[in-house]
Structure 1
Amino acid sequence: MGFVKAGNNFGKRHQFIDYKIYKSFVYHTIFMEFLRENAEYFERKAIEALKEKPRFVLLFAEQAIQLYIKYILAKELDDYPKTHKLRVLFEELSKISKEAKDFYENYADYIDLLEEAYINYKIPRKRIQ
């Protein structure tokens, strides 16, 4: 089993931690930041798209919400569903936040519209001939 020294312990007894746990923690921390930074990026893009490319507003807003929810779930539960469905993500988030459940119930139609915009962008429909 691999171990790494934790911290800078001059004159103190060295504290060692399991390398696999350390690697998992570092990966998890970096990945959570990746989710948060990408959520913020898509939020900015949605705001910019209001002025420049309105057709992308729903797509960018959906991506921002999806990534923010995944970030919160990763932070609070150490995991999240591997899905793009906002409904499923809100169901998981509702387990730790009553506000999320209320929000989803109040805005379910709009959230479904965001999800549909994402699907239509990612999987374009074939032209009917």
Structure 2
Amino acid sequence: MGKEHHYNVPHAEEVALLRSRAKSFLARAEDSLAEGDYDIASFLAEQSLQLYLKSILLEELGDFPRTHSISFLIQQIRKIPNRQQLTVLLEKRSDIIRLMEDVYIASRYLPRRYSEEDARLLVNAAKEVLRFGMVL
């Protein structure tokens, strides 16, 4: 009989894992930006923010929706009373959030390129949110 796998990580550990991955994705996004790989930098910034938002929902609600929509994740966070400042920060960046969602879809299905300016905006937005959450 083979080894049993235990995939049920306690929430605190899973939250920490998601935040660690969010931080790593952001670091790789910054590396890609510096190397001129703007499409990858944009995608990694989106992934960083997505994982961080999911970590908040897991921490506060015990679970998170299995979606890739940052807008939907923000809608769910809006319902959490002690996360209103984060919601305000994210809503001020709604144009960048829309661009992040475009990046997620385009990276998989569309032959779209992103500029240095786009990549820089996305990386900086993800960095701002992770700093706000004291992940950085």
Q: Tell me the TM-score normalized by structure 1.
A: 0.70
AA aligned to 1:51 is: A
Q: RMSD over aligned Cα, in angstroms? A: 2.0
Matches within 5 A, 1:5-16: none
Q: Tell which structure's C-alpha radius of gyration is larger.
A: 1
2:72 matches 1:88:
yes
Which residue in 2 is equivalent to 1:108? 94
Which residue in 2 is equivalent to 1:71? 55
Pairwise CA distance, 1:43: 0.7
| Secondary structure in 1 matching 2:66 | coil
Contact 1:90 1:100 in 2 (8 A): no
Distance 1:85 1:46 in 2: 19
Q: How many residues align?
A: 103
Contact 1:36 1:67 in 2 (8 A): yes
Greater helix share, structure number: 2
Pairwise CA distance, 1:24: 8.4
Any gaps of 5 or more consecutive residues in structure 2?
Answer: 1-5, 112-136
Cα 1:26/1:113, change in 2 over 3 Å: closer
1:25-62 CA-to-partner distances (Å, cap 9, x unmatched) read: 74434433331221111110111111112222211110
Which residue in 2 is equivalent to 1:60? 44
Any gaps of 5 or more consecutive residues in structure 1?
Answer: 1-22
Distance 2:108 2:10 in 1: 28
- Residue 39 of structure 1: which of 16, 22, 37 is its match? 22
Higher relative contact order (CA 8 A, sep 6+): 2
Greater strand share, structure number: 1
Cα 1:95/1:50, change in 2 over 3 Å: same
Distance 1:50 1:110 in 2: 17
Segments of 4+ moved more than 4 angstroms: none
